[in-house]
Each structure stands twice: as C-alpha cells, then as structure tokens.
C-alpha cells in the first residue's frame, strides 16, 4: 500500500455506542506527520477504546475515521494495520525466541518467526539498527523469558518499527516498569522521535510522569468525551487535569517533563 501524503489520522464527530451506552461521544482529532500526542484520562475514561479506533481495530457507530488517508469501512482493515506500528506491553510470546527474532516478527505480525520464511539481509540489518536505536544491542541474543519488563517494552517498540510505519501507537508502554526502566524507555522514545521527524505517534497513559518530553500535543478524555485537546503546553495544565481526573491536581513542568501532585487543601 502506498502511503498517502498529508494528515496521518483524523476523526469527524465520532461516536462509539455499545449496548445503548456511549463509550465515545463526538470525537474530533487531526494528527499530522511529526506530531506526538498523548491521550490522558482516568481508568475507564475511554483511552484504549479511542486507540482501537485510531489503530483500525474497531469501527465507529457514527462519524468518520480516516487512517493514513483511508476511511474506515472502505478499506481492508487488516492491510491497513500492516502500516501502523502498535506497541502493546501485554503482547504475549509463547516460545523462547531471541530479541532479534522478536523484532523481525514485526514484518509478519506473528508471535514467532514463520516456518519456511526468512528475512532478507536488508531486513536483518534494519532489525539490528532498530535494536541499537532502542539501546538493546547487548541483549539482541537474549531470550524473551530472560528479559526484564523494560527490555521487553523496548524490544516491542523496535518490533513495531520494522514496517517503517507513519503512525506509532503506544498503549501504556510504561506499565509495570520501575523508575530506571521507565526513564530508559522515555529516553529511547525521545531519541526515536528525534531521528524520525515525519513519524507521528499516540501514547496512552494515565500517569503524567510517563509523558515524554518530545510530546507535542495532548488530548484529555473523561467518560468518553474530550475535555481538552491541542498543544501539550496548553492542555496539560492544573485546571484541565484537575477537571479531567475529578480531583484537585497541581501540574508543574521542568526540563520538558510534567509532574503532578494533589493540591493542598486551603486552610480556613
């Protein structure tokens, strides 16, 4: 499939209704090449549901979703998903294969290297370059069961990049990581974005501290409704975050990163 130029992804007045209940309501978003969005909201707000639409794994009940220039409902969704890099930290690999082979399976979208198939030398070199970019070169021959959660996360990002996607989706990639592993992951994401200026990405999280410094835009969602959307510095504010999470939260930004804490109650 040829990649069309222009907007990477957009939605127009999208609703998603299941069993008579709105999971998403009137969602409008437009993502351009080189933009890096974060979807923020409390548990159950609709973040992963929205990501399923943007990643072409679900259809809207009403409205239009355009992914890589194609309208959902008028395109082979399986073929379209081959051009999207999707990083799910809960991805399961049943047999003990090496990091290098995990990354190579991004070409076939399988959990193991397919029988009677082998990558070309160029594809192998591409896998090695991605492993290096994500800081995993010393672990390229390590077996999947022997990897830490942070190493698995970086390996899965490299895997998602094997198809050279225009759009990278990251569904809570820092889940289960300790502090050092989280920082290694965020540094790797910043490096990746800086080296791929046309790549667009969407990261889902409910933790302010997990937002990379290269994030350009933010969307806040509450009960399936967007409460704020736009440039990250205008959206990730004390007022907007407090409203989105229904709790008084003080937001600070230092060195390009955000942090949050409960606002102290005013003394009477």
For residue range 4-44, list pLDDT tens digits in order.
448 999 999 999 999 989 999 999 999 999 999 999 999 98
- What element of type H or E holds 251? strand 249-254
Average pLDDT over residues 230-248: 95
* pLDDT band with cut points at 50, 70 and 90 for residue 127: very high
* pLDDT band with cut points at 50, 70 and 90 for residue 268: very low
Report d(CA 17, CA 2) in Å as an integer. 32
For residue range 156-185, list pLDDT tens digits in order.
999 999 988 889 999 988 888 889 889 989
What percent of the chain is modeled with pLDDT above 70?
A: 96
Report d(CA 208, CA 215) in Å as an integer. 12
Q: Which domains does the chain have, with CATH numbers?
A: 1-83+166-268 (3.40.50.300), 90-164 (no CATH)
Q: What is the mean pLDDT of the chain?
A: 89
Contact 17, 61 (CB under 8 A): yes
């Amino acid at each position: 499939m040829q990649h069309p130029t222009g907007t990477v992804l957009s939605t127009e007045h999208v609703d998603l209704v299941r069993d008579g209940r709105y999971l998403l309501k009137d969602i409008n978003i437009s993502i351009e090449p080189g933009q890096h969005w974060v979807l923020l909201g409390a548990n159950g707000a609709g973040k992963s549901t929205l990501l399923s639409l943007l990643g072409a794994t679900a259809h809207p009940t009403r409205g239009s979703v355009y992914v890589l220039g194609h309208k959902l409902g008028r395109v082979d969704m399986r073929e379209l998903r081959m051009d999207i890099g999707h990083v799910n930290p809960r991805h399961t690999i049943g047999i003990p294969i090496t990091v290098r082979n995990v990354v190579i399976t991004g070409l076939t979208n399988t959990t193991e290297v397919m029988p009677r198939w082998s990558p070309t030398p160029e594809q192998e070199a591409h896998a090695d370059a991605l492993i290096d970019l994500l800081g995993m070169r010393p672990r390229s021959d390590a077996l999947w069961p022997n990897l830490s959660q942070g190493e698995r996360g970086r390996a899965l990002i490299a895997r998602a990049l094997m198809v050279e996607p225009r759009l990278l989706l990251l569904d809570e990639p820092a889940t289960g990581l300790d502090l050092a592993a989280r920082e290694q992951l965020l540094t790797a994401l910043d490096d990746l974005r800086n080296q791929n200026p046309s790549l667009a990405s969407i990261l889902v999280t409910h933790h302010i501290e997990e937002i990379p410094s290269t994030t350009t835009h933010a969307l806040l969602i509450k009960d399936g409704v967007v409460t704020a959307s736009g440039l990250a510095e205008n959206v990730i504010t004390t007022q907007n975050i407090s409203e989105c999470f229904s709790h008084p939260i003080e937001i600070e930004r230092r060195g390009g990163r955000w942090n949050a804490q409960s606002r102290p109650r005013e003394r009477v």
